[in-house]
Amino acid sequence: MTGVARTESEDSAHVLDETRIREQFPILTSMVGDRPLVYLDNAATTQKPRVVLDRLSRYYAAENANIHRGVYQLSQVATDAYEGARAKVARFLHASDPSEIVFTRNATEGINLVAQTFGRSTLGAGDEVVISTMEHHSNIVPWQLLCEEKGATLKVVPISDQGELDLDELDVLLGPRTKLVSIVHMSNSLGTVNPVREVVERAHARNVPVLVDGSQAAYHMKVDVRALGCDFYVVTGHKLYGPTGIGALYGRRTLLDAMPPYQGGGDMISSVTFDKTTYNEVPHKFEAGTPHIAGAIGLGAAVDFMTSIGFEPIVAHERRLLEYATNALTAVPGLRLIGTAPQKASILSFVLDGVHAHDIGTIVDTEGVAIRTGHHCTQPVMDRFGVPATARASLAMYNNADDIDRLVGALTKVREVFG
Amino acid sequence: MSDLRDLYQEVILDHNRSPRNFGPLEGADLKADGHNPLCGDKISIAVKVEDGVLTDVRFEGSGCAISKASASLMTEGVKGKSLDEARAMFERFRQLVTDQNALVDPSLGKLAVFAGVRDYPARVKCAILAWHTLRAAVDDNHDIVSTE
């Protein structure tokens, strides 16, 4: 198979081998009715490579035991695998130390954890949290709940018609009462990649910490939390080619140490009496109860998988594919892309004249093409662009030009039905 | 999966393109709003009632072809019916779009074109939103109807 853009041929060793990549994802050979599956809903969740499936299976078949405090060998094996996964995630995000990685259920829980610990202990009446128009509901609602409880205010940085963050307005909104900036690294409905480093610099200049929602970014580009300078960074495993039900929160160690616990229970304590309980060290202070051990180990395998391929070829492949898809889609009569920021990655949100996104989704599905339609948990973005919903094709490392051609072909069928 | 034409029948496409009874209803006796947060469909139904009969029914809003056509065909179908008859039609329509084994009730008339929806579970809410909203209107229920 040739390279993504078909017209290009590159002899670099860093070109992704499409066939080899695709072979590692068993689901990609499945059929939808009589059509081979074209999976373009990666922003919702990515498919899983065999190494991740095998790792989960091996854990349950050969290593399953509860972790921490087990004196028997099997428990130690499980503990080592779980803590080993934490170290892998720490390396993946370029954290200084594994203790800065807290396992969560997903990115949503990571944000809620920060809101309920850091947020609750820091915010008071009249204080402010700054987010942006392009946030996922998971980076809006936890702050609304917190602000309501504390009598604080949520400030929203607007975005441009292309879907870019208004950094000048960020400067205006950052004030003496700002206690936190919480911003998405890459928009799930627009594809915009935000200048996080710049946001952090502007916030830190006013001593305001920054949380970054990396749900979308972390499988499309190398994430280096120290280079970004952010204070918190959340990811979700199922978008990193890993299992559902597992995510991770990176937190700067000094902040994590100072934060109160999240949930109470086993494993998060160092001693319990009815008079006084002392809490375990970070990150265990934030991981009450038996965690998703298999999930964490599976996530470890998933980040190893991405690291073994390397982000250089992944980024190059997805960039070429995005360009190919952008050209192919904009050539479809009546199609308008929503989200055209110069800095964007791997997401194509669009509307089609006279056809509701939901109808598009149903019709392309009959051609075996899976895309998402709706507001993508970003209703303020839909309002900003004055559309009730969009259709969204989102790319991952295993997508290729054939997938885009199939999508465009399926959109022709939409026109046939709707005239 | 069944043929796409079973879902997007010509009657449905026609009512999507040119919805009937679309727009505000002056002097409405009862109104209700419906919302399908999943796909952003929004609908308002307004009715006039005389002696327990729906003398006029109109709708406004935006949505996918299925929801718009469903609202349009519903307004035609229930006009002139009593409130109780409209409630009974709602039940028959719900069965039509959800029950795989249901025979098409001839009393549904043109609404039978929505039988294809039952093969697309994700779209049942689109078809039924207008009916839930009408039901709220005739029951004088002022909560916004939500499919979620």
Note the pLDDT tens digit of each residue in A48-93: 999 999 999 999 999 999 999 889 999 999 999 999 999 999 999 9
Distance CA A236, CA A213 (A): 10
**Selected residues 386-405 of chain A with any CB under 8 Å from a CB in chain B:** 388-389
Q: How many domains does chain B have?
A: 1
Is B147 within a domain?
Answer: no
Is B114 within a domain?
Answer: yes
Is B33 within a domain?
Answer: yes
Residue B75 structural domain: 4-142
B49's enclosing H/E stretch is strand B41-50
Give me the phi and psi of A168, to 5 degrees please: -60, -40
**Domain boundaries A53-308, CATH class:** alpha beta
Nearest to B38 among A362, A374, A413 (CB): A374
* Closest-CA distance of chain A to residue B64, Å: 5
Nearest to B4 among A357, A366, A388 (CB): A366
pLDDT at residue A213 greater than cutoff 90: yes
Instruction: Quote the pLDDT of residue A347.
Output: 98
Does the beta-carbon distance from B123 to A418 stay under 8 Å? no
The closest alpha carbon to A101, from A119, A116, A82, A120, belongs to A82
Helix, strand, or coil here: A247?
Answer: strand
The closest alpha carbon to A287, from A246, A316, A254, belongs to A246
Does the beta-carbon distance from B126 to A418 stay under 8 Å? no
Q: Model confidence over A247-266: pLDDT tens digits?
A: 999 999 999 999 999 999 98
- CA A97 from chain centre, in angstroms, equals 21
Long-range own/partner contacts, residues B79-86 (CB < 8 A, 24 or more apart): B79/B21, B79/B54, B79/B55, B80/B53, B80/B54, B80/B55, B81/B53, B81/B54, B82/B52, B82/B53, B82/B54, B83/B49, B83/B52, B83/B53, B83/B54, B83/B138, B84/B52, B86/B54, B86/B134, B86/B138
Nearest residue of chain B to residue A363 (CA atoms): B4
ipTM score assigned to the predicted complex: 0.89
Does the beta-carbon distance from B64 to A417 stay under 8 Å? no
Topology adopted by domain A18-47+310-418: Aspartate Aminotransferase, domain 1 (3.90.1150)
Where are the CATH 3.90.1150.10 domain residues in chain A?
18-47+310-418
Is B60 within a domain?
Answer: yes
**Residues of A tagged active-site:** 377
Where are the CATH 3.40.640.10 domain residues in chain A?
53-308
Distance CA A415, CA A393 (A): 18
Cα-Cα-Cα-Cα torsion A281, A287, A288, A292, nearest 10 degrees, comes to -140
A417's enclosing H/E stretch is helix A401-418
For chain B, what is the mean pLDDT?
Answer: 91
Is B38 within a domain?
Answer: yes
Q: What is the CATH number of the domain that holds B121?
A: 3.90.1010.10
Is B36 within a domain?
Answer: yes
Q: Model confidence over B54-97: pLDDT tens digits?
A: 999 999 999 999 999 999 999 999 999 999 999 999 999 999 99
